[in-house]
């Protein structure tokens, strides 16, 4: 997500917050996720941000509206963008969603899709093991492939032609997911959709950054695990500089 924003909006300063001490969120209760989300929003507001992106599908699923209600600035969330992308992509009206258990249980993607087109069929599958496998760096490991096959089997049985990657970790598994889903399934990674939506909001509100030599990227995390540097750089496609650990 952050990488897509950097590539689409090269002049915008970006503050990234990763709650590395308390992830994964996808197996936590709604009340806990809402509490964590509000703490993160409080932290970001201290930095006088002009727009907020909810890049975590789980937070977007259960707390996006509460965040919007308390903020007087634009908020773009990954689920809304993903739903719009999926509706635009599908040819037969059957959309599959793979996501964390909390995101699936919230039914947020189905609601988002049906708000755009009530005739669409949405089939969701919780995939609790995929985030730990990505964190482990097992992107093309036999165990990961077997796990993906198990998770995709019931979704593919519904003859979906579009598969939404409903977690920001899943794009790192895109080559494996594409192989296992087959050539007739289109994968929807909402990162690009979010970046385009952010660009449009900045333009419409006339708050886009002017052309400049370089943008400022700052990264805040709540813990720096052993493999965080390599995992983060794999996500971003660049080195992590200006990285700081904070406590909420």
Q: Active-site positions?
A: 56, 167
CA distances from 163 to 92, 155, 175 (A): 12, 9, 13
**Residue 165 and residue 153: Cα distance in Å, rounded?**
15
Q: What torsion, rounded to 10 degrees, do the Cα atoms 113, 115, 118, 123 define? A: 30
Single out the residue of 6, 18, 33 nearest to residue 135, CA to CA: 18
Question: Residue 42 burial (CB < 10 Å; 0-12/13-18/19+)?
Answer: exposed
**Residue 137 and residue 28: Cα distance in Å, rounded?**
23
Neighbour tally for 39: CB within 10 Å: 15
Single out the residue of 10, 6, 90, 89 nearest to residue 55, CA to CA: 6
Q: HSE (CB half, 13 Å, CA atoms) of 4?
A: 17
**Residue 194 and residue 209: Cα distance in Å, rounded?**
17
**Residue 206 and residue 76: Cα distance in Å, rounded?**
16
């Amino acid at each position: 997500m952050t990488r897509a924003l950097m590539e689409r909006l090269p002049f915008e300063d970006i503050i990234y917050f990763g709650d590395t001490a308390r992830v994964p969120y996808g197996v936590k209760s709604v009340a806990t996720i809402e509490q964590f989300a509000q703490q993160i929003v409080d932290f970001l507001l201290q930095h006088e941000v002009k727009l907020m992106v909810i890049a975590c599908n789980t937070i977007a699923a259960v707390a996006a509206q509460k965040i919007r209600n308390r903020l007087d600035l634009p908020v773009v969330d990954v689920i809304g963008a993903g739903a719009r992308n999926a509706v635009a992509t599908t040819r037969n009206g059957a959309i599959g969603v793979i996501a964390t258990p909390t995101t699936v249980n919230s039914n947020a993607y189905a609601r988002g899709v049906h708000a755009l087109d009530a005739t669409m069929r949405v089939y969701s599958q919780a995939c609790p093991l995929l985030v730990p496998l990505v964190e482990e760096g097992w992107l093309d490991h036999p165990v990961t492939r077997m796990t993906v096959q198990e998770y995709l089997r019931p979704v593919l049985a519904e003859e979906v032609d579009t598969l939404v990657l409903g977690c920001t970790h899943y794009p790192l598994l895109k080559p494996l997911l594409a192989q296992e889903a087959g050539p007739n399934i289109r994968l929807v990674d909402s990162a690009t959709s979010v970046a385009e939506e952010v660009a449009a909001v900045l333009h419409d509100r006339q708050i886009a950054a002017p052309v400049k030599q370089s943008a400022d990227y700052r990264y805040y995390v709540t813990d720096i695990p052993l493999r965080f540097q390599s995992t983060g750089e794999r996500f971003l496609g660049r080195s992590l500089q200006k990285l700081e650990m904070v406590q909420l």
